Amino acid sequence: MYRVGNARWLRGARLAVAVAAILAVGGCQKSDRPSYPAINPLASADFSVPSKLARQPTGSVAVSGTPTNLRAPQLYFGADGSPSLGSGAGAPITPVGDGAQINFDNADIRDFLKAVLSDTLRVSYAVDPKVQGTATVSSSAPLSRQALLATVETVLRMNGAAMVADGASYRIVPAGEAAGGRVMVQLGSDPTPLPAGYGVSVIPLRFVQAATVVPLVSPVANSNMVRSDPNRNLVVVSGPSSDRAAIAEMIAAFDVDAMRGVSAGLFPLRRSDPASMIQELRSVFKLGTDGTPMQGGIDFIPVRRLNAVMVVARQAVRLRQAEAWINRLDQGDKQGVQLYVYRVENGTAENLAAIMGQFMGRGRGGATSGGDSSPVAPSMQIQTASTSGASSIPSRADGGGMEASGVMSAGEKLGLLSDDLNSMVGPGTSGGAAGRGPDPFDGAQIVANKERNSLMVMATPEAWRKIEAAIRLMDTPRYQVLIEATIAEVTLTDQLRYGVHFWLESGNFSGVFTQNNSFGVNPAVPGFNFIISSGNFRVILDALASITNVRVVSSPSLAVLDNQTAQLKVGDQVPVVTRQQQATENPDAPIVNNVEYRDTGVILQVTPRINPDGQVDLDIRQEVSNVVEGAPDAINPTIAQREVGTSVSVASGQTVILGGLISDRQSVGKSGVPVLRDIPLVGNLFSGVNNTDQRTELVILITPKVIRNAVDAKAIAEEFRGRMQLFGAPPPKK
């Protein structure tokens, strides 16, 4: 018994010595791994049966702030203080370094917000009761504070909610109510990172237009999220911070300087014109014909004023290549005569050819070519090519489709452009051919093709450049004037016994019209002239119609080119015998009458001239004539005529009133009992004679409106359409 006890004691002593030796050796070894605090998860574990609430993955936060490679399961306490066992997929939130990993599987949105915002980020928040939903989100790496807030915004957006910053706290509200509350506004160009929460970013643009950028970013943004302010060139983006930051980065990618890193060069041409040179260069560089800018990294722009080609390229080597090809293609005989064709756009080719001929012949001796009455230079030949009986081509002007007639005369255009042409070709010298200096046009020939409305010029390249520059100065769009006229005949009653002029001056119309003295109205015949400042001439007509009979003879509207005459005729042509002939040798010879037709009715002629200050000078000639009863034995009818002519200067849209032409008509009529009034001697007992005296005055109202471009033409058309709608739709047919 003793030996057995001793043996046991010896074995225990040996075991203790071995354990001590192992511990001593282990303590002497140095480890490179950091030491971690010992964690005994079983020491604080509660092995009681967890409640139903504890089984739900509500999420919690670990207190450890250093990385850990522990493989043992850990316990994380939820917000309600009850222990909760982590699932096999990992804990909802695991702090790792300065960040945290999250792992939620179908968690309630409120539990998710509490775990992230309150427990992890330590921020205050308030949740709207209408916000409901779940959160399923997992991260494979630690997330920073900003990344956690962005994740919260993403989860809220998926559940139809938004997070709005309210000072140091946040409000969780439905997405539809986020924009209506107080939101944070930040300038998009501010380098400070966008704070978390729903807000508005105002992004100013520097190089592109806001209307161009918004359609590019709208497909990646939610509806009603991106708006533009064209006046200030701003883009306004509303939404969560993550979405606003993404859209701001996309906008920054488009808002770049298009000329940054772009090389440009201007290459003058000596023997070619820019249009033909560019066409050949596009073929050399294999560029398309659709006109896409910077296609292939290079683009060509014609500069006709300098007879040069501008080259824009993204790489300097492409610019050098273009320069080399321009030098190769700009070849030919500098003094050789070539054929050039110019298509006239805003006039007639025949007129432009005549103008050039007049300029060349001024001060150079003068000559005529081909029977043309226009003076031309001895070296300039003006011809007209025609293949049909057409006499002219109507001029085209920029007026939105408004029709007009006539073109500016050659002398008028020559006077307007003489200074430009003199500076281009130099003044001429007087005298004959021996006294003239060198001809700058080198014997150029010009042919006007009326059917094609184009000019064909045979000239050297140097002469063609001068001729083309002069033609382009004249071939420019011309303004038009819309003439709205109303011709009314007013019967003069007792209230109007002194005429319309006296009635207007005595009435309450001082705020409607002004006298003509300050507006430069110069009547060519006696009468009165008023200018309506408000342009509402219907006030005058309505006032006259309330006291007498007003008959509108005509109310035309027509457009005419600047400095051209518009003519309107409404009436009949009356035959008038102008001469009678009879042979004297034979008394029975028939009498031969020469008959001409005379226009009667309403004839209006208006010639407008537009001044640089916007005033319109009008030369007006108005005639109203009609056939009246004359002598019974008269060969020709008697024509009663009233005519007014004046020169008026008014602003566009103002109305000028012309009047004062009063006519007296006396008529004698006989009435009585039929049959009895024709009995001799006693017929007067059954009949009577009526003498009628009628006085009328002709009043003309004219309103000019300048049409400078298609916008003005559209506005006038809309105004006219609105007047037509006042009449209403016709009643349906039964």
What span, in angstroms and rounded, lies between the C-alpha atoms of 338 and 720? 51
What pLDDT band is residue 325 in, cutting at 50, 70 and 90? very high
Last residue of a domain, one of 329, 362, 382: 329
The closest of 195, 134, 186 to 163, measured between CA atoms, is 195
Residue 608: the pLDDT is: 92
**Same domain assignment for residues 400 and 500:** no
Residue 574 shares a structural domain with residue 623: yes
- Is the residue at 81 inside a domain? no
pLDDT classification of 523: cutoffs 50, 70, 90: very low
pLDDT at 363: 37
Reported confidence tier of residue 692, pLDDT bands at 50, 70, 90: low
Task: For residue 695, tell me if it sits in a domain.
Answer: yes
**Contacts of residue 497, Cβ cutoff 8 Å, sequence gap at least 6:** none
Q: What is the per-residue pLDDT across 314-323, written as a single tens digit (0 to 9) for each?
A: 888 888 899 9
Distances (CA, A) of 648 to 405, 524, 531, 539, 699: 21, 11, 9, 21, 15
Q: What is the pLDDT of residue 528?
A: 55
pLDDT (tens digit, 9 = 90+) per residue, 18-41?
A: 545 444 444 444 444 444 333 333
Report CA 634 to chain centroid distance, whole Å.
Answer: 65
CA atoms within 13 A on the CB side of 19: 6
Among candidates 592, 596, 595, 568, which has minimal Cα distance to 582? 592
With 70 as the cut, is the pLDDT of residue 550 above it?
yes
Please count the structural domains in the chain.
Answer: 5
With CA atoms as reference, report the closest residue to 513 among 533, 539, 543, 540.
533
Confidence class for position 668, pLDDT limits 50, 70, 90: low
pLDDT in tens, 457-480: 888 877 888 888 888 888 888 888
Q: CATH number for the domain including 168? A: 3.30.1370.120
Residues 652, 615 share a domain = yes
Listed residues 155, 182, 209: the one ending a domain: 182
Please check whether residues 539 and 672 belong to one and the same domain: yes
Q: Is residue 382 part of a domain?
A: yes
Question: What's the pLDDT band for 289 if we cut at 50, 70, 90?
Answer: low
Find, among 214, 256, 257, 254, the residue nearest to 234 by Cα.
214
Closest CA to 246 of 170, 207, 287, 194: 194
Q: What pLDDT score does 224 carry?
A: 66
Same domain for 201 and 100:
no
Residue 69, CA distances (Å) to 38, 74, 92 in order: 13, 12, 17
Last residue of a domain, one of 148, 182, 216: 182
Both 318 and 175 in one domain: the answer is no
**Beta strand 522-523 pairing with 638-651:** antiparallel
Go through 423-438 and write b for each residue having 16 or more CB atoms within 10 A of its CB, e for each that does not: eebeebeeeeeeebee
Q: Say yes or no: 420 and 474 in one domain.
A: yes
Q: How many CB atoms lie within 10 A of CB 84?
A: 23
Task: Say if residue 436's pLDDT is above 60.
Answer: no
Q: Dump strand ranges (E) for 255-304.
A: 263-268, 298-303
Which among 191-200, 411-420, 571-580 has the top mean pLDDT? Answer: 571-580
Query: What distance lies between CA 35 and its chain's CA centroid?
Result: 74
Asked whether the beta carbons of 188 and 203 are under 8 A apart, the reply is yes
Range of the domain at 573: 481-725
One DSSP character per residue, 375-400 reads: -B-TT-EEEEE-SSS--------SST
Tokens 């309506």, residue located: 532
Together in a domain, 647 and 715: yes
Q: Which ranges of 255-296 would DSSP assign to H, the alpha helix? A: 274-284
More confident residue, 93 or 510: 93
Q: Is 25 inside a domain boundary?
A: no
Tell me if 445 is assigned to some domain.
yes
Separation in Å, CA 157 to CA 102, 114, 162, 186, 242: 18, 17, 6, 21, 11
Q: Which helix (H) or strand (E) holds 324?
A: helix 316-329
Tell me, what's the pLDDT at 607? Answer: 92
Average pLDDT value for residue range 53-72: 40
Is the pLDDT assigned to residue 263 strictly greater than 70?
yes
Q: Model's pTM, two decimal places?
A: 0.47
3 state DSSP class of 627: strand
CA angle 82, 83, 86 (to 5 degrees): 135
What's the token pair of residue 92?
A: 């909802």
Q: Any alpha helices (H) in 330-480, and if so which ranges?
A: 349-361, 410-425, 461-474
Query: Distance between CA 8 and CA 14 in Å, rounded?
Result: 10
Residues 544 and 666 occupy one common structural domain: yes
Q: What's the whole-number average pLDDT of the chain?
A: 70
Q: How far apart are the first and last CA of the chain?
A: 140
Statement to judge: residues 498 and 564 lie in one domain: yes
How many Cα atoms are found within 13 Å in the side-chain-facing hemisphere of 367?
Answer: 13
Q: Answer whether residue 272 is part of any domain.
A: yes
Is 47 within the bounds of a domain? Answer: no
Same domain, residue pair 375 and 400: yes
Same domain, 195 and 294: no
Which region among 89-98, 233-242, 406-415 has the lowest average model confidence (pLDDT)? Answer: 406-415
Question: DSSP class of residue 524?
Answer: S
Within a domain: 17: no
| pLDDT greater than 80 at residue 620 | yes
For residue 227, what is the enclosing H or E element? strand 226-229
